[in-house]
Amino acid sequence: GVVPDTNNYRVQIVCLALTALQAREVAEQVRNAMASANRQGFQTSEQDYGSTDFEEGSKVFGVRMDFSIWYRS
């Protein structure tokens, strides 16, 4: 059920870089930051960790990540 005085947001973060390796490294840093937030009063869960895509128009690689974030208001 829903805990009183809590808020939930679903956010998508896109990590862009010039190489696929760099995009995955940045995505891993985001994952680590979200895990750290769990120790600071937030509850985060990764909903989707997408594969690395190449953005043809901008010529960069990207990793899309979806998170559910809960916190007390």
pLDDT digits (tens, 9 = 90+) for 2-32: 667 888 999 999 999 999 999 999 999 999 9
Q: What is the pTM of this model?
A: 0.79
Residue 1: its pLDDT value, please? 58
Alpha-carbon distance of 9 to 59, in angstroms, equals 30
Q: How far apart are the first and last CA of the chain?
A: 17
Residue 3: its pLDDT value, please? 62
Q: Identify which of 5, 11, 68 has the alpha carbon closest to the alpha carbon of residue 38.
A: 68
Alpha-carbon distance of 12 to 32, in angstroms, equals 15
Helix, strand, coil percentages for the chain (3-state, nearest 5): 25, 55, 20
- Residue-wise pLDDT for 23-68, tens only, equals 999 999 999 998 888 777 788 888 877 788 998 999 999 999 999 9
